């Protein structure tokens, strides 16, 4: 037994780590089931650059990164980023080197509609996406398109952004244009990437644009508008486009796994799940629809006790509940890590009142023994991924699942054994869940290449390819993990012992 196996065996003895046993009892070589497709992902602001070229207007990320004093690590910006606006051919060549089935990227609203509204279509911006899509299709790589990955037009933010119910119109006007322009070739659509991060991190805390800290209020207004905007886009696609275009459409939620610290914290862990992602998943994927009961009741009771005249969480009307219910063809999951939850019984914490975390009434931590990525929040906990997929299967009647993001950050450097280990363990945990009946159909590695990691700038690297930001050409070089990912896709096997020779070039295989 290797040292890590012995450690895992000991951990298996205690009930709370029971789930850990599943993923460590791994086969040497494991088959990937037929039909599961593999790809990589990026997002517009994180890779495109060309922030003010060819008619593109200002987004909330342009505004934040140009703010003085700079709120981003090292004062990094996405002004140039990976220069993908000019280098899409190189990006597609990398997809061919990896042999991916698809590539998930996002559209920049301000590149397509300079005014934010559909009164003027910016032809040059449209041309960029046409070029990228056509180049991918030439090599049989499916485009998967995220309509919104955080780069809201600044003008719409000036009018309240996701807290203004008019955003439902602004968003559906924009998404209609996108379906009209690209829907003949795009067969996979994602409406919104990670509503939790948009609402909580953007409006409830100052950890993503627009850097507001209106916690327990602004974040909840955002939640409702996002759900309705998403659902209206979904129904528009179904009604006006799907028959002729034949695609599939859904949402990508950020889903952290919350594990109870002990048996007595089971309820606190479940409530954390409901507040953190059930607030989006329950309205869309449950049979009853609407916000989770515990979230509605807790926020309503606290709001009244705090002197508000109504709940800080907006209500969904019966019509809105029906509109949102079932509005996703699949459950899109961005998953990275796990947290341990315990009840905050004394409630004497440092959370402001009111706030989202005060409403949750639980605290989290991560185990110090868990291996960590370059991002401090990202710990390697593959059994959490297994538990999460199992929970989604049982709680929401086994929906089709698309893993829309999963990945690991390092510092610079081409030998990234930490990333290789992460991908192997997480794919292995996913295969365990599939063996037990989870209907996972898509797996997406975040990311194809290093990119602008939001507030962390370029200090945390998620790429299978390294990007050299000192080089005006933004040269991309495959990391060791790129060779390993390629081999998994080529052989359709997970082999924990495969060691690539990274002195050889990573070649484009025939058929790609």
Taking the C-alpha atoms of residue 11 and residue 1, their distance in angstroms, rounded to an integer, is 15
Which of 43, 47, 255, 430 lies at the binding interface for ligand GBH (CB under 6 A)?
Answer: 43
Which of the stretches 32-40, 189-197, 235-243, 504-512 binds ligand GBH when contact is defined by CB under 6 A?
Answer: 189-197
Is 385 a binding residue for ligand GBH by CB under 6 A? The answer is no
Q: State yes or no: residue 76 binds ligand GBH (CB under 6 A).
A: no
What are the phi and psi torsion angles at 504 (to 5°)? -85, 145
Q: Does 65 bind ligand GBH (CB under 6 A)?
A: no
Tell me the backbone φ, ψ of residue 121, rounded to 5 degrees: -100, 130
Of 61, 446, 458, 485, which one interacts with ligand GBH (CB under 6 A)?
446
Q: How far is the CB of 461 from ligand GBH (least distance, A)?
A: 10
Please give the DSSP secondary-structure letter assigned to residue 32.
P
- Cβ at position 406, least distance to ligand GBH in Å: 9
Q: Which of 194, 329, 416, 450 binds ligand GBH (CB under 6 A)?
A: 194
Tell me how many residues contact ligand GBH (CB under 6 A): 14
270 or 453: whose CB is closer to ligand GBH?
453
Q: Is 188 in the site for ligand GBH (CB under 6 A)?
A: no
Question: Could you say whether residue 40 binds ligand GBH (CB under 6 A)?
Answer: no
- HEC per residue, 190-245: EEEECHHHHHHHHHHCCCCCCCCCCCCCHHHHHHHHHHHHHHHHHHHHHHHHHHHH
Say which residues have a Cβ less than 8 Å from residue 345's Cβ, sequence separation at least 6.
Answer: none
Rounded to a whole number of angstroms, the minimum distance from the CB of residue 419 to ligand GBH is 13
Query: By C-beta, is 77 or 256 nearer to ligand GBH?
Result: 256
Does position 444 interact with ligand GBH (CB under 6 A)? The reply is: no
Specify whether the CB–CB gap between 364 and 341 falls below 8 A. Answer: yes
> Is 405 marked active-site?
yes
Q: Is 462 one of the binding residues for ligand GBH (CB under 6 A)?
A: yes
Site for ligand GBH in 260-299 (CB under 6 A): none
Encoding tokens for residue 25? 């009892």
Under a CB-based contact definition with an 8 Å cutoff, are residues 64 and 454 in contact?
no
Using Cβ positions, the residue closest to ligand GBH within the complex turns out to be 377
Give 177 or 226: the residue with its C-beta nearer to ligand GBH.
226
The answer to the question of residue 320 lying near ligand GBH (CB under 6 A) is: no
Supply the DSSP string of 242-286, one letter for each residue: HHHH--EEEEEEE--EEEESSGGGHHHHHHHHIIIIIHHHHHHHS
The window from 175-183, 193-201, 218-226, 281-289 that contacts ligand GBH (CB under 6 A) reads: 193-201
Q: Does 322 help bind ligand GBH (rule: CB under 6 A)?
A: no
Q: Which stretch binds ligand GBH (CB under 6 A): 53-61, 123-131, 191-199, 290-298?
A: 191-199
Rounded alpha-carbon distances, angstroms, from residue 43 to 40, 106, 109, 147, 467: 11, 5, 12, 10, 15
Question: For residues 84 and 303, which CB has a smaller minimum distance to ligand GBH in the complex?
Answer: 84
The tokens of 464 are what? 């299978």
Stretch (H or E) spanning 440: strand 440-446
450 lines the binding site for ligand GBH (CB under 6 A) = no
- Establish if 358 lies at the interface with ligand GBH (CB under 6 A): no
Report helix, strand or coil for 474.
Answer: coil
Active-site residue, from 48, 261, 270, 405: 405
SS3 state of residue 188: strand
Q: DSSP code of 161?
A: G
**The two structure tokens encoding residue 198:** 């948009």
Cα–Cα separations (whole angstroms), residue 305 to 59, 299, 301, 360:
38, 10, 6, 15
> What is the phi-psi region of residue 234: left when phi exceeds 0, alpha when psi lies from -120 to 50, beta otherwise?
alpha
Among positions 391-410, residues that touch ligand GBH (CB under 6 A) are 405
Which residue stretch of 16-24, 56-64, 192-200, 427-435 sits at the interface with ligand GBH (rule: CB under 6 A)? 192-200
Nearer to ligand GBH, 89 or 365 (CB): 365
Write the interaction track for ligand GBH spanning residues 225-264; mark x where CB under 6 A is met and - where it is not. -----------------------------x-x--------
Picking from 248, 208, 275, 173, the residue whose alpha carbon sits closest to that of residue 404 is: 248
Q: Cβ closer to ligand GBH: 174 or 446?
A: 446
Q: Residues interacting with ligand GBH, by CB under 6 A?
A: 43, 46, 193-194, 197, 254, 256, 334, 336, 377, 405, 446, 453, 462
Active site residues: 405
């Amino acid at each position: 037994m290797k040292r890590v196996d012995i450690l895992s065996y000991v951990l298996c003895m205690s009930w709370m780590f029971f789930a850990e046993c599943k993923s460590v009892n791994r086969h040497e070589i494991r088959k990937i089931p037929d039909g599961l497709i593999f790809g990589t992902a990026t997002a517009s602001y994180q890779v495109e650059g060309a922030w003010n070229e060819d008619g593109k207007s200002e987004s909330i990320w342009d505004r934040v990164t140009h703010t003085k004093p700079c709120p981003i690590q090292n004062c990094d910006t996405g002004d140039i980023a990976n220069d993908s606006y000019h280098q899409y051919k190189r990006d597609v060549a990398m997809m061919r080197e990896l042999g991916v089935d698809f590539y998930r990227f996002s559209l920049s609203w301000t590149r397509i509609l300079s005014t934010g509204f559909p009164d003027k279509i910016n032809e040059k911006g449209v041309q960029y996406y046409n070029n990228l899509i056509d180049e991918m299709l030439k090599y049989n790589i499916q485009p998967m398109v995220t309509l919104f990955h955080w780069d809201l037009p600044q003008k719409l933010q000036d009018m309240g952004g996701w807290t203004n119910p008019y955003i439902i119109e602004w968003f559906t006007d924009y998404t209609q244009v996108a379906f009209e322009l690209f829907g003949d070739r795009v067969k996979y659509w994602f409406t919104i990437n990670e509503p939790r991060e948009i609402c909580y991190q953007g409006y409830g805390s100052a950890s993503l644009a627009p850097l507001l800290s209106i916690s327990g209020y602004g974040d909840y207004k955002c939640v409702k508008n996002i759900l309705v905007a998403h659902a209206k886009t979904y129904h528009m696609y179904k009604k006006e486009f799907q028959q002729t275009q034949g695609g599939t459409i859904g949402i990508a939620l950020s889903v952290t796994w919350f594990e109870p610290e002990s048996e007595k914290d089971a309820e606190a862990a479940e409530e954390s799940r409901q507040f953190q992602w059930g607030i989006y998943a329950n309205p869309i994927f449950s049979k009853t629809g609407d916000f989770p009961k515990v979230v509605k009741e807790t926020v309503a009771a606290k709001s009244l006790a705090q002197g508000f005249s109504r709940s800080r969480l907006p209500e969904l009307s019966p019509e809105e509940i029906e509109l949102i219910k079932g509005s996703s063809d699949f459950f899109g999951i961005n998953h990275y890590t796990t947290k341990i939850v315990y009840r905050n019984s004394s409630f004497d914490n440092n959370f402001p009142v009111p706030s989202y975390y005060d409403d949750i009434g639980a605290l989290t931590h991560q185990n110090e023994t868990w291996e960590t990525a370059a991002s401090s929040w990202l710990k390697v906990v593959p059994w959490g991924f297994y538990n999460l997929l199992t929970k989604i299967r049982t709680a929401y009647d086994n929906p089709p699942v698309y893993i829309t993001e999963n990945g690991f950050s390092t510092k610079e450097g081409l030998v990234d054994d930490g990333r290789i280990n992460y991908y192997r363990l997480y794919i292995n945990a996913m295969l365990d869940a599939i063996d037990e009946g989870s209907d996972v159909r898509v797996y997406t590695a975040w990311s194809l290449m290093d990119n602008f990691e939001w507030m962390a700038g370029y200090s945390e690297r998620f790429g299978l390819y390294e990007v050299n930001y000192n080089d005006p050409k933004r040269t991309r070089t495959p990391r060791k993990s790129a060779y390993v990912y390629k081999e998994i896709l080529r052989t359709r096997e997970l082999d924990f012992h495969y060691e690539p020779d990274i002195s050889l070039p990573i070649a484009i295989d025939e058929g790609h």
